[in-house]
Structure 1
Amino acid sequence: MKLIICISLALLALLVDAKDAAKETVSKHGQLSVKGANLVNKNGEIVQLKGMALYWSQWMPQYWNKDTIDGIHDSCHSNVVRASMAVDDGQGGGYLFDPDTQMQRVETVIEAAIADDLYIIVDWHEEKADTHQAQAVDFFSKISKKYGKHPNILYETFNEPTDQSWSSTLKPYHEAVIKAIRANDPNNIIIVGTAQWSQRVDEPADDPIKGTNIMYTLHFYAGTHKQWLRDLAQGAIDKGLPIFVTEYGTDNVDVVNQVDEEESKLWWAWLDKNNLSYTNWAICDANEASAALIANTPANKVCQADYLTLSGKLVVEQNKK
């Protein structure tokens, strides 16, 4: 009998410790802030956001709607969604070419996320944002003025810089966009992109931006970015840098090779050990190993079991832990 009781208590402890992200939403955690290297909730307790990134807005508009956001919460077991708004895809598509359509898509998913009690990252999704600073300032000024009063909102000011200098180019760009946001929204989290496709978090660790509630982006694809990148990021965390993984994939960076399940598990263990938040790339049905959905998945079936790829299945299980 004692053995049975001990086993039951152990199972109960596992259930208590498990944190299904779908249950860790805005109504529970409220206004987020940064304390040291950690993201914390309204009570100053460390909180972890886990969820999904929408695919480029101009290429997968069928998922930029309320049905998808419902699925991300209910079936993807998420408390955050990343709205990856295309700015300039190099093919004549994105916000720079059709701002009204792109803004409408962003606002649709923001309002759906607020209705579903989710946090949402509004992402300026491009690699050359420093050449479009005026447009980024205007965009984030409009978004922060309209939605900044909601604790659901997080801002990602530059998806993936490439070879730009942190101190002379990226930092001044971020400071300009942050100033525009803070004119309307003094509190919500701002996440800033780092060099080398948002991997070089070591650079801002030595030259951080002054201000409150600022975090720094780390991106990885498990089959390509391995222990060396975890070591680099750990060094930045140890210096007190607050990191948010706004994009990660379970496969190689070219998103066509197979899922690397073993390396993905190493990444998840490291992320959870450091209480880092993360969003998976991506909610789409493209012919890519990182796609969470099988081909022709309708928006009202997003993340339902029969419509998940191998990557999608692994990610959803991780979001439950």
Structure 2
Amino acid sequence: MAKQRMNDFRELKCEFLGKTVILGILFFIICCQLIARPKKNLHSVKNAVDAEHPFANSTVVGINGFLRVDGAQLVNQQGKPVALHGVSYGWHNFWPRFYNPSTVKWLKENWHVSIVRAAIGVEPKGGYIDNPQGALQAAEAIIKGAIDNGIYVIVDWHSHNINLDSAKQFFTYIAKKYHSFPNIIYEVFNEPDYESWPEVKQYAEQIIEVIREYDPQNVILVGCPRWDQMINLPAQDPITGYSNLMYTLHYYAATHKGELRERASKAIAKGLPVFISESAGMEASGDGKIDYRQWHKWIKWADKRKISWIIWSISDKDETCSMLKKSANSMGGWSQNDLKASGIHTKILLKKY
């Protein structure tokens, strides 16, 4: 009897140990699943963030982040000098067919642009004053394309005259909606023509104040008199009290040569941050022959100083500076046969970077 009890005890003990081992294995498996599950969830969250904000990955904006101005130099989020290279769209109210995210994607992937410029017309028919909603839709189409593709975008108030109230409305909307995106650069006055620097400065200060109410950090570009030629004037009397400001220089290489480069070099030597927000190889009229020699001198001059440059323009007007022919598809996908001489050479220049 005692022997039988001993055998029964041994059987129970073995059964207990067996169940304990099984439970232990199950417990181990469950723990492993619980440990693994958060990693999967975190990965999913990261993917969701990347999907919503493409600048979170290894794009141009993902690498450089929010830009700022250090002395006379544009720098990235690590404080390293950065120069951006890209193209400007033509006036939105004259060439709206190219104002869509697909052309931005094409320019980024095929032309290697790191920045595009949305030239939002103000005064002509169909411009912001005539059709504010249409202007905002055009601007936001290019902004969306830039954000989706991780490149920078200049939101350009493309006017030759001071339109203070309209500019305030426009930049209030843009800054309020897009202040959290590092892609955005504001250009508050495309090309002042006959306004004096004190007039341009006073206007710019008011627009900067409007932008900074919502966007404390993205870079703001300020124009200067005589179609952004008199870069020496803001160098003598710059805007103070705000950070991350730069001043725009425009050149057309067949017209503007060594004299303008010398003027700009002196302004930079005084500490003025310069951004070439519009340029091209032909005459200042936008027409005439391309002066490739002078154009290359300008590119070399800018690259030596790590100055960003934009080339004009993505449009199909019958003039030299319009890069596209009438055959160019509104959504991108342009072949060599769709490009005019300026477009072909611009693409060559951009693909070096």
- Common topology (TM > 0.5): yes
Contact 1:76/1:303 (CA < 8 Å) preserved in 2? no
The alpha carbon displacement at 1:42 in A equals: 0.5
- Please tell me the residue identity of whatever aligns with 2:144: E
- Please tell me the residue identity of whatever aligns with 2:212: R
Q: Is 2:254 aligned against 1:223?
A: yes
Choose between structure 1 and 2 for higher RCO, CA contacts under 8 A separated by at least 6 residues. Answer: 1
Looking at structure 2, the residues matched to 218 and 76 of structure 1 have their Cα atoms a distance apart, in angstroms, of 23
- Please tell me the residue identity of whatever aligns with 2:131: D
Contact 1:24/1:79 (CA < 8 Å) preserved in 2? no
Provide the alpha-carbon RMSD of the alignment. 1.2
Which position in structure 2 is the counterpart of 1:191? 221
Looking at structure 1, the residues matched to 208 and 332 of structure 2 have their Cα atoms a distance apart, in angstroms, of 37
Contact 2:59/2:149 (CA < 8 Å) preserved in 1? no
Equivalent in 163, 176, 179 of residue 209 of structure 2: 179
The alpha carbon displacement at 1:241 in A equals: 0.3
Looking at structure 2, the residues matched to 84 and 185 of structure 1 have their Cα atoms a distance apart, in angstroms, of 21
- Please tell me the residue identity of whatever aligns with 1:61: P
The alpha carbon displacement at 1:307 in A equals: 2.2
Could you tell me which runs of 5 or more consecutive residues in structure 1 were left unpaired when the two chains were aligned: 1-22
Q: Is 2:132 aligned against 1:99?
A: yes
Which position in structure 2 is the counterpart of 1:235? 266
Which position in structure 1 is the counterpart of 2:31? none
| Max Rg structure | 2
Which position in structure 2 is the counterpart of 1:315? 346
**Kindly, what percent of the aligned residue pairs are identical?**
38
Alignment of 1:50-199 (within 5 A): 50-89=85-124, 92-128=125-161, 130=162, 132-167=163-198, 169-199=199-229
Q: Is 2:65 aligned against 1:30?
A: yes
Looking at structure 2, the residues matched to 154 and 221 of structure 1 have their Cα atoms a distance apart, in angstroms, of 22
Q: Secondary structure at the match of 2:94?
A: coil
Looking at structure 2, the residues matched to 112 and 148 of structure 1 have their Cα atoms a distance apart, in angstroms, of 16
Deviations 1:127-177 (A, max 9, x none): 00x2x101101110110000011000000000000121112x111100000
Structure 1 stretch 251-260 or stretch 197-206: which is displaced more?
251-260
User: Per the alignment, do residues 241 and 317 of structure 1 end up closer, same or farther by CA in structure 2, a change over 3 Å counting?
Assistant: same
User: Per the alignment, do residues 271 and 61 of structure 1 end up closer, same or farther by CA in structure 2, a change over 3 Å counting?
Assistant: same
Q: Which has the higher helix share?
A: 2
Which position in structure 2 is the counterpart of 1:301? 332
Looking at structure 2, the residues matched to 196 and 24 of structure 1 have their Cα atoms a distance apart, in angstroms, of 36
Contact 2:59/2:150 (CA < 8 Å) preserved in 1? no
Equivalent in 84, 92, 107 of residue 49 of structure 1: 84
Question: What's the TM-score, normalizing by structure 2?
Answer: 0.81
Equivalent in 256, 262, 266 of residue 287 of structure 2: 256
Which position in structure 2 is the counterpart of 1:40? 75
The alpha carbon displacement at 1:24 in A equals: 6.7
Could you tell me which runs of 5 or more consecutive residues in structure 2 were left unpaired when the two chains were aligned: 1-57
Looking at structure 1, the residues matched to 151 and 143 of structure 2 have their Cα atoms a distance apart, in angstroms, of 9
